[in-house]
Amino acid sequence: MSFIHPSAVIEDGAILGDNVSVGPFVYIGSRVILGDNTTIASHAVIEGKTTIGKNNRIFSHAAVGTIPQDLKFNGEEVELIIGDNNIIREFTLINPGTKGGGSVTKIGNGNLLMGYVHLGHDVIMGDNCILANGATLAGHVELGNHVFIGGLTPIHQFVHIGDHATVAGASALSQDVPPYCLAEGNRAYLRGLNLVGLRRSMEREDINALKVAYRELFEQDKPLQSVAKDLFERSTSEKVKRLCEFIKTSKRGIPFKRTKKSEEKQ
């Protein structure tokens, strides 16, 4: 059984599923679709062509589906799609897509967006990601699955972050972070594999293969793209192949520094 607070404003045309809870002073626009068992806390705003799946929790003062913060936006038909089982905490801002970026912002399932998180237009996010307080994603950013972004970390537009990667808090990221890796600093660069996260979800054999691949890719005085191509062709590990494929297709480049030993050889 749904609960709608009498002070909430729900425009005609909005579609609400079963067992939905809408708190005081919430605004829900006419083209919004809310899935079953979703909770919207007080003073939240949900606008635009926004589809929200099942079992989501949206906390107070979140602004979801408001128009993109892009001066080129001119009222085009754009969309925001949010999957199931997400937690969207206080004062989070999520914008839909833009015509130039595919017209859709899409969030997967099981993600946690902590307070004051910003997801810009045309962001694509996978499943089971965690964005800590104040993390900021510019337009066109893509996140894989099981990504963690620390608090107060801005991500530059068009950056791509691979599966099981971590970007530490108070970093500033302007290039792509490959799967399974850890980036940190301002500007952020790779510090190694995300071993803490990998040990929670990956077999030791896969982790060992990634360790060997990481050393070969980033700790030798050889061109990164050629090493990635060669390693992709001869590796039997699917995880290593995924890492190499990400590097081969990166458009913004990989932020890494040669080890001191390698630098001394140059």
Catalytic residue among 101, 108, 122, 163: 122
Mean pLDDT of 152-156: 98
Residue-range definition of the domain harbouring residue 218:
199-265
pLDDT recorded at residue 185: 98
Instruction: Decide if 160 is catalytic.
Output: no
Catalytic residue among 97, 139, 144, 150: 139
* CA neighbours closer than 13 Å in the CB half-sphere of residue 252: 18
pLDDT recorded at residue 259: 61
Q: What is the pLDDT of residues 35-66, one digit of tens each?
A: 999 999 999 999 999 999 999 999 999 999 99
By the 8 A CB rule, do 187 and 169 touch?
no
- Does some domain include residue 177? no
- Does some domain include residue 230? yes
Instruction: Decide if 139 is catalytic.
Output: yes
Assign 115 a pLDDT band (cuts: 50, 70, 90).
very high
Give the relative orientation of helices 204-218 and 224-234 as an angle to the nearest 10 degrees. 150
Assign 263 a pLDDT band (cuts: 50, 70, 90).
very low
- Residue recorded with tokens 């140059």: 266
Pair (20, 123) in one structural domain: yes
Pair (215, 125) in one structural domain: no
Separation in Å, CA 190 to CA 66, 89, 125, 173: 34, 29, 21, 10
Altogether, the residues listed in the chain come to a count of 266
Specify the pTM. 0.96
Q: What is the pLDDT of residues 61-107, one digit of tens each?
A: 999 999 999 999 999 999 999 999 999 999 999 999 999 999 999 99
Q: What is the CATH number of the domain that holds 236?
A: 1.20.1180.10
Instruction: Decide if 97 is catalytic.
Output: no
102: Cβ–Cβ under 8 A, 6 or more apart, which residues?
A: 122
pLDDT for 266 beyond 50: no
Cα separation of the two ends of the chain: 69
pLDDT for 260 beyond 70: no
For 64-88, give one letter per residue: b (16+ CB within 10 A) or e.
bbbebebeebeeeebbbbbbbbbbb
